């Protein structure tokens, strides 16, 4: 990729100015090394680049191109969270630079440490063996990394200011319902009944911990040869302080099984060897010692939140703000996710 001014979706990225900023701010960049840029798969969310100077590498994160919802994709908040979390949770990358300079690019961004490891999206590295061999290890890796994060005393770690635990779950429920209404493009059967259930049956929060809010397999970096070893946890934009069961519920919603309908996301956990959703929850309960008796609510809400995320993306496509062909049929996935929430609520899934 050229180190010049690149036009993407009517927004400029000035790679020359970015390189000047990095060289002025980071001492470890070799003087003679040319900057090389590689764009990671951006999925449905933030855009991520790998910036290489010979063997020295950093990662740049910025919001997606095109119109985005207010307060969404807040890179400054993610940068601030990582500044503190990385001191007490070694799997979190260390942040280096935050910038809002419009001469560099059209959106704010930050640069962080490049954690070494592999991302598990839609295939298992051949070094891991078969899914029957790697599946149990990968499943338990996710659970153990989540429990390690939730075991941190956020008050002692000076992390209290990243969230407001009082009323957290109530704000989550009403906030996500509001997001859906703002992005709505069509009616879905039974949705009003489901939303009423979320409001009326909201459990009492038993504990507050750090909540990542996007803790899923492909947000973890694994050792290239050892699926039991987590090397990094990414995407901290939504992290806060709140009910740890919301993280478990969201992770369960992302944890696909072979009999699932199209959920609109990359799923590898439907292969033989991976724990089922029920086994995942049982292993979490055994390892953490936490009461998971109300996980039905949290998992159903996890499916609902994922549906709203895809609905927001589909709304952008529906309004003509983005032309990505992947988004054209996301409304079908949204319908399936709402149905999964209904089935979870009635104890037909978990």
Residue given tokens 């280096």 in the structure block: 96
Chain centroid to CA 150? 16
pLDDT 10s digits, 1-58: 444 444 444 367 899 999 999 999 999 999 999 999 998 865 556 789 999 999 999 9
Residue given tokens 């609902």 in the structure block: 304
Neighbouring C-beta atoms of residue 102, cutoff 10 Å:
11
Give the closest residue to 11 by CA, choosing from 102, 98, 112. 102
The span from the CA of 34 to the CA of 45, in Å, is 29
The span from the CA of 295 to the CA of 281, in Å, is 8
CA 229, 232, 237, 243 dihedral sign is positive
Phi, psi of 95, rounded to the nearest 5 degrees: -85, 145
Give the closest residue to 152 by CA, choosing from 204, 112, 211. 211
Q: What is the pairing mode between strands 109-113 and 56-62?
A: antiparallel
DSSP 105: B
Give the closest residue to 240 by CA, choosing from 254, 231, 250. 250
- pLDDT tops 80 at residue 173: yes
pLDDT 10s digits, 111-129: 999 999 999 988 999 999 9
Domains delineated in the chain: 5-113 (3.30.200.20), 118-345 (3.90.1200.10)
Judged by DSSP in three states, 347 sits in coil
pTM of the model: 0.88
Question: What's the pLDDT score for residue 41?
Answer: 60
Confidence of residue 349 (pLDDT cuts 50, 70, 90): confident
Task: Indicate the helix (H) or strand (E) that contains 35.
Answer: strand 35-39
Half-sphere exposure of 108 (CA within 13 A, CB side): 13
Neighbouring C-beta atoms of residue 343, cutoff 10 Å:
14
Give the closest residue to 248 by CA, choosing from 221, 209, 274. 209
């Amino acid at each position: 990729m050229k180190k010049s001014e690149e036009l993407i979706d009517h927004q400029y990225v000035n790679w020359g100015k970015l390189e000047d900023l990095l060289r002025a701010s980071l001492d470890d960049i070799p003087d003679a090394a040319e900057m090389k840029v590689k764009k990671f798969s951006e999925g449905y969310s933030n855009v991520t680049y790998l910036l290489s100077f010979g063997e020295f590498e950093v990662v740049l994160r910025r919001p997606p191109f095109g119109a985005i919802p207010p307060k969404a994709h807040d890179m400054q908040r993610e940068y601030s969270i990582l500044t503190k979390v990385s001191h007490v949770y070694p799997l979190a990358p260390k942040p280096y630079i935050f910038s809002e300079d419009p001469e560099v690019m059209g959106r704010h961004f930050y640069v962080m440490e490049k954690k070494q490891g592999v991302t598990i999206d839609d295939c298992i590295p051949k070094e891991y063996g078969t899914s029957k061999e790697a599946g149990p290890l990968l499943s338990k890796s996710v659970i153990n990394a989540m429990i390690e994060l939730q075991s941190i005393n956020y008050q002692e770690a000076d992390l209290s200011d990243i969230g407001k635990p009082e009323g957290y779950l109530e704000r989550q429920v009403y906030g996500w319902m509001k997001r859906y209404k703002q992005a709505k493009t069509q009616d879905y059967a039974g949705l009003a009944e489901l939303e009423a259930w979320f409001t009326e049956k909201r459990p009492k929060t038993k504990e507050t911990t750090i909540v990542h809010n996007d803790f899923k397999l492909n947000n973890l970096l694994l050792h290239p040869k050892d699926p039991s070893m987590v090397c990094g946890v990414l995407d901290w934009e939504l992290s806060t302080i709140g009910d740890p069961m919301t993280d478990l519920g969201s992770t369960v919603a992302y944890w696909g099984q072979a009999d699932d309908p199209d959920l609109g996301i990359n799923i590898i956990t439907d292969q033989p060897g991976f724990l089922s959703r029920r086994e995942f929850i049982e292993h979490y309960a055994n390892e953490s010692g936490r009461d998971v008796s109300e996980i039905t609510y949290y998992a159903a809400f996890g499916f609902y939140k994922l549906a709203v995320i895809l609905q927001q993306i589909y709304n952008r496509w529906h309004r003509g703000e983005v032309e990505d062909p992947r988004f054209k049929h996301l409304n079908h996935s949204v319908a399936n996710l709402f149905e999964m929430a209904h089935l979870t609520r009635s104890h037909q899934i978990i």
